[in-house]
Amino acid sequence: MPIRSGTRRHRIAIIDGPNMTNLGARNRRVYGAINSIEDLQQYSKDIGAELGVEIETFVSNFEGEILEFIHAAATRVDAFIINPAGLTEIGIPTKHALSETGRPVIEVHFANVVAPPTAPRGLPIGPWESVFTPSATGTTMGLRQYSYAQAILGLTLALDDSTFLGADVEQEA
Contact criterion met (CB below 8 Å) for 153 and 110: no
* 96 is known as an active-site residue: no
Q: Which candidate in 43, 71, 96, 109 is catalytic? A: 109
List C-alpha distances in Å: 104 to 11, 70, 82, 98, 158. Answer: 12, 13, 11, 9, 9
Q: Which candidate in 31, 96, 146, 148 is catalytic? A: 31
Sign of the alpha-carbon torsion through 41, 43, 48, 54: positive
* 43 is known as an active-site residue: no
First CA to last CA distance, the chain: 35
Contact criterion met (CB below 8 Å) for 126 and 120: no
Find, among 7, 15, 37, 16, the residue nearest to 156 by Cα.
7
Give the residue numbers marked as catalytic. Answer: 31, 109
